[in-house]
Amino acid sequence: MEDCCVLGYLVPNREVLRTVFNNSDSPKKDKASDEFQPMMIAFTNILNSVSDNKDCNSRMHSEDKMINWNCSKIAKIIKQMRNYPEASACYMRAFVSPESWTILTAQSEDNEDLNDYENYLWAAMPMLHDIPFNKVKLPNKATRQKVKKMMKMLQEEYKFMSDEKRALVLKWVKQRIIQNYFNCTMKPPLDPRFPGRGETNKTEGRKGTTEPLKSCNSTLKWLDYEKLLMIGRYLFHLAPKDIDSISKDQFCKYIDSGKLRMAAKMHPSLALKLHQRFQECFNGEEVAKNLDKLGALACYSPNVPELNPDLSRKLLSQLSDCDEDEHPRVRQIKRRLVESVASTLGAIRELVKLGNSVTYFPEKQLSMISLKELGGLGKNPAVMFSRGQAHTLVKKMLGKIKCDMKLGKELTDLQSVVRALPICVFTHVKFAEILNDKETLMNISKRMTRGQMKALLQALRENMDPTEVVNKLDGPLLRSISLTYLAKAEITSLEQVAGKTWRKAQAIYLVKKLYDMKLLRFRGLHSLLQGVTCMMIDEVLDSDILDMVRDITETPQWLSRWQVACAVRRLVRACEAKGPDYFQTITKEELDEIPTLLLSHFPPSKLKDLPDAVCSVFLDKMEVADLRSLPPRSPSRIALTERALLCLEVTNEEMSRLGPLLAEVETSKLRLMAPDVLMSILQAMATRQHLPRQHKANLTQLVTHVFGNPSEWSPETMEKVGCLILLDDVATAALPNKPWMKDILQFLRHCLPRPSKALRQRIFDLITTASNTAREKKDADDSGIDNDDGRGSSDSKTAEEPTLEMLEELREGVIFLPAERLRQMTKETFSVAVDMLGDITDYRVEQLTELVTKAVEAFGPVAQMSDVVVMQLKCITQGFSDEDLKKLPFTMEVLEEISYCRWSQSQVETIWRTAAKSINVKQLGDAEIASLSQFICAMNFSELESINIKNLKEALDTLGEIECPIEFLKKLKILLVSAFGEPEQWPGTLIYDAGIVMAALDEKEFLPLKPPVFLFLRESSIPLIPHGVFASLTISQLEALGPWNAERITSEQLDSLTDDQRAAVERSLSGSVQDRTSIYAGAPLLWVEGISAFLKPLLSLLLGFLLL
């Protein structure tokens, strides 16, 4: 019901309620009829909780469990609800949604009226939004008509579903189709040796008897046009072999209907199979004429023939929703199509309407399009223009840019190119014209640089009340507000600041302020959760603990590990206040009330105490648990795994119920599983992003043992378990050069939080090999020579020349190109690809040498390069000599654009000295300080000292993120001490914003810091602390670092510690800190507990999975 409140819907009035609960078309009675009276009362109580709180974030009272539901009553109520618009029916629909879903999925006689069935489906939809995938229960019995109606509803829910839910729906509808239309089953029969595996396949026979279902023929053609329509978008989750079960005429009928025109993601092997079937439907030139029917398949197009402007425009419309990072080949296709469309002026005007495809226009052609023809292109925030294109368009739309020009509503037309405006323009913005346009402000702030945002905020500070600014801003602009300015705003309620996205230091300040004003509550804090301390959690009354933990875990993305640990400690204490044996006698209902996030952080002894009677609930929770916040070395990981394995023995359920804990099971135990069980386990593990480091090598060996040598795998196998192979660099490098391998590896990049160098190198090899082969084939075709000898000719000059298509597909993979190949790049190719090449940060020296040579060829001598050219070159400028760097125009905008590149300290100093010639340091505002970024590191103390301290405070949040040499950080620390006092007096807000500057504190300054403030140290500051200073930290301080910070400790720092200090670091890494230190302001983290007594032999469980 919170969703109804968030949407702004008013609770239904009494007249509406009387009509609905009287089951009458006119509200003549003053109260509901007797049979509906209990439901009316319960629903009214819930509505009263909404009205009384007047806040969507307040927990709504629920009495639905006490209602004696009746199918016929609900059917009548729903029928009445549907007579009202969504705004009036929303709360009532949410009220009956859970029970409606229960009725739909109950295994009862299939005798419901179809109209009632449709009403139940309508009412049940809200329930599906929040239900976890492992609790989605679909009916085992349903007639053909009911399956169609159910699928119609599930089609509407598709976009809200996780991949796990979609897979469940597809499995269900396939089973229902096969059983209803063919009276057979593809399920494996029940194996008497393994009671928990397989199924008894029975169907209703005559006179209510059950008869076993026969097994279907493996070649059963179960799909046709009608069933494809029923499946809808779930088609994109089929296996390629399922597509083979459709006859040609039925598949072509589906294609011809245009039903494939829908956005969806799919596995590359399925896309390839669908493409093959698509081409079977058309002969020769007919394929090109029907490309507009590809729909989502367009993103996976292996190749596109030459098309005329009209067909090119149609295909471009199909490509508009493709993610170019996931489908890099789409860039090549779009560029070719744009070139085709741009061949006629009329088509150019039409192309402007196609959104982001216009970014493939050359800058010269963009400058030729009139303002009228450009239309609202600048208003479209989804269009990502290159740096060169953006500057061209800004010049076209505004003419000569002057710092004193005053923009207001004009910014609405510049949303997609706002980054090209100079910083000084934003200090004169007519804010009154845009401040109320929240959508435009949000869109432009997402594109603005930090310097631009600080400049705009400077204008707001000088002309508006801080409270009004805070009330109206959100997003990146709000997060850029300094703490000193935020402190001037009048905060009078939680509602005033809840629901916005704050950075951590702001959240700490605001939560402390609300706490002091006694206005703090835990529900609906969202990003403000970052500021909740352990002391605040510890003060919650025992009677309110469950509400508190449910409230804070509703938005787990804002919780830190130590906050979770504090909540766990407080919850355990409150539970055991009811009795010391609480967890030994806990019921299913009580365990179900504990949020899964907190349960996964429970100390081992409490997990050991859980009785077998709650195993089903425990496994439900573990199946959907997110263990990413649990420290890798936490003893709770092992305890959770062992408890879950023992629960499997009790419940006789499948290993898939372990969810993410599958990755914690030792491979030696996995090897004892039956082969078919092990296959399914490995496939499930391949979908998990977190895999323990100690298991990775063994897992790779195991997957090879089960599935064979990867060089012999099919595309489908690679998609299913390829993620496990990518854990091993040697195995990744050995993957074969198969035609489909490149696309699947691109698809599997998401497996690793950061793609390994071995994976990036392998993708590079596959792309360049394919590019060379294609080039050689084209050359052979042009010359009439048959060169099909099965070998590449990578040594030829033609093959060595990097094409624009190759570069756009490689992107960051360009770093693997040999310097001599970059030398072969044409000036034209470099000019078009320069923005993409300039974004790459980790070139080798020899590569940069060749690229700067290309830059001079394309843009002329260094001394003649404009600031726009330097921004386009971006990180390529790292290749210029110090003498050449001195010739470049380093404006504030240029400095900020190139600040993300990996400059040496000598280069930083050269660039700063060059830029400083035109900069008055004393007049630097917070916008300019933010724009300088790492180049401020080259300032001497005299320059640094001359900066206005007020502006330095305003820019502190950006300074804290700049990685400068320790000597400079010491200079900056001196300024901060003069501004804020000694570090021991700094609050957590200041410590967090100071960020990396904290690394400059010496032994005497670190010593008086209380352990709780160490939680506010940024991870980036830890490795910069000199090892001698680091060695001076106390045991309590080291324990207080927390797992994230402790992971950043360098080997040199670790070597400088004593044995006791190293033990403290180990406790910090595992998240197991003793209560004795009270380091978390009255709320210690976790407990150090031995778990050896808890680990029991699991042989009896494992034997249940062995083949006899």
DSSP string, 497-554: TTTS---HHHHHHHHHHHHHTT---STT-GGGGGG--HHHHHTS-GGGHHHHHHHHTT
Nearest residue to 485 via CA among 962, 978, 993? 993
Nearest residue to 724 via CA among 750, 687, 761? 687
Reported as a pLDDT band with limits 50, 70 and 90, residue 694 is: low
Residue 267 is predicted with a pLDDT of 93
Q: What is the 3-state secondary structure (H, E, C) of 150-172?
A: HHHHHHHHHHHCCHHHHHHHHHH
Region 188-211: what's the mean pLDDT?
A: 51
Tokens coding 898: 């190139």
Nearest residue to 929 via CA among 423, 422, 406? 423
Q: Which of 14-28, 53-67, 525-539, 619-633 has the highest mean pLDDT?
A: 525-539
Give the range among 4-8, 103-107, 492-496 with minimum mean pLDDT: 4-8
pLDDT at 1079 over 80: no
pLDDT at 859 over 60: yes
Reported as a pLDDT band with limits 50, 70 and 90, residue 781 is: low
Region 335-350: what's the mean pLDDT?
A: 74
- Per DSSP, which regions of 266-409 are E strands? none
Average pLDDT over the chain, rounded to whole? 85
Cα–Cα distance, 962 to 932 (Å, whole number) = 10
The model's pLDDT over 611-627, given as tens digits with 9 standing for 90+, comes to: 999 999 999 999 989 88
The helix-helix angle for 741-748 and 757-783 (nearest 10°) equals 150
| Whether 664 contacts 642, CB under 8 Å | no
Region 163-185: what's the mean pLDDT?
A: 92
Region 304-322: what's the mean pLDDT?
A: 86
Region 231-251: what's the mean pLDDT?
A: 93
Region 82-93: what's the mean pLDDT?
A: 83
Q: How many CB atoms lie within 10 A of CB 471?
A: 15
Region of 284 please: left (phi>0), alpha (psi -120 to 50) or beta: left
| Whether 91 contacts 51, CB under 8 Å | no
Instruction: Work out the angle at residue 314's Cα, subtended by the Cα atoms of residues 312 and 318, and round it to the nearest 5 degrees.
Output: 110
Nearest residue to 703 via CA among 658, 735, 670, 734? 670
Cα–Cα distance, 1056 to 747 (Å, whole number) = 44
Q: Which of 255-269, 704-718, 1073-1087 has the highest mean pLDDT?
A: 704-718
Residue 1083 is predicted with a pLDDT of 31
Rounded to whole angstroms, what are the CA distances from 276 to 24, 265, 329, 376?
57, 17, 18, 39
Give the range among 51-60, 264-273, 560-569, 957-966 with minimum mean pLDDT: 51-60
The model's pLDDT over 785-795, given as tens digits with 9 standing for 90+, comes to: 444 444 344 44
Reported as a pLDDT band with limits 50, 70 and 90, residue 48 is: low
Of residues 90 and 873, the one with the higher pLDDT is: 873
Cα–Cα distance, 614 to 620 (Å, whole number) = 10
Residue 111 is predicted with a pLDDT of 59
Residue 194 is predicted with a pLDDT of 47
Count the residues in the chain: 1108
H helices within 342-386, ranges in order?
A: 345-351, 363-368, 371-374
Q: Which of 109-118, 124-133, 982-991 has the highest mean pLDDT?
A: 982-991
Backbone angles phi, psi at 1070, to 5 degrees: -85, -10
Q: Which residues have C-beta within 8 Å of that of residue 372, sequence separation ≥ 6?
A: none
Q: Facing residues of 246 across strands?
A: 223
The model's pLDDT over 500-513, given as tens digits with 9 standing for 90+, comes to: 999 999 999 999 99
Cα–Cα distance, 374 to 142 (Å, whole number) = 54
Rounded to whole angstroms, what are the CA distances from 687 to 657, 713, 885?
14, 18, 48
Q: Is residue 589 packed enough to be buried (19+ CB in 10 Å), middle (13-18) or exposed (0-12)?
A: exposed
pLDDT at 1060 over 70: yes
pLDDT at 586 over 90: yes
Region 983-990: what's the mean pLDDT?
A: 92
Residue 667 is predicted with a pLDDT of 86
pLDDT at 1 over 70: no
pLDDT at 1045 over 60: yes
Q: Which of 50-59, 161-170, 899-908 has the highest mean pLDDT?
A: 899-908
| Whether 511 contacts 486, CB under 8 Å | no
Of residues 297 and 18, the one with the higher pLDDT is: 297
H helices within 158-308, ranges in order?
A: 163-182, 225-231, 240-243, 248-256, 268-280, 286-289
Cα–Cα distance, 656 to 623 (Å, whole number) = 8
Region 178-200: what's the mean pLDDT?
A: 68
What 3-state DSSP class applies to 377? helix
Residue 1086 is predicted with a pLDDT of 27
Quote the longest CA-to-CA distance of the chain: 97
Residue 677 is predicted with a pLDDT of 84
Percent of the chain clearing pLDDT 70 (strictly above): 85
Q: Which residues have C-beta within 8 Å of that of residue 338, sequence separation ≥ 6?
A: 312, 316, 351, 357, 358, 360, 361
Give the range among 330-334, 751-755, 1021-1025, 1058-1062 with minimum mean pLDDT: 751-755
CA-based Rg of the chain, rounded to a whole angstrom? 32
Reported as a pLDDT band with limits 50, 70 and 90, residue 195 is: very low
Of residues 39 and 949, the one with the higher pLDDT is: 949
Region 545-561: what's the mean pLDDT?
A: 93
The model's pLDDT over 207-234, given as tens digits with 9 standing for 90+, comes to: 444 567 888 988 899 999 999 999 999 9
Residue 56 is predicted with a pLDDT of 61
Region 554-580: what's the mean pLDDT?
A: 93
Residue 359 is predicted with a pLDDT of 85
Rounded to whole angstroms, what are the CA distances from 252 to 246, 288, 426, 998?
10, 15, 56, 66
pLDDT at 778 over 60: no
Residue 680 is predicted with a pLDDT of 86
pLDDT at 934 over 70: yes
Q: Is residue 124 packed enough to be buried (19+ CB in 10 Å), middle (13-18) or exposed (0-12)?
A: buried
| Whether 718 contacts 741, CB under 8 Å | yes
pLDDT at 681 over 80: yes
pLDDT at 699 over 70: yes
Cα–Cα distance, 582 to 577 (Å, whole number) = 8
Pairing of strands 210-212, 214-215: unpaired
Reported as a pLDDT band with limits 50, 70 and 90, residue 801 is: confident
Model confidence, pTM: 0.86
Percent of the chain clearing pLDDT 90 (strictly above): 53
Cα–Cα distance, 64 to 46 (Å, whole number) = 9
Reported as a pLDDT band with limits 50, 70 and 90, residue 751 is: confident
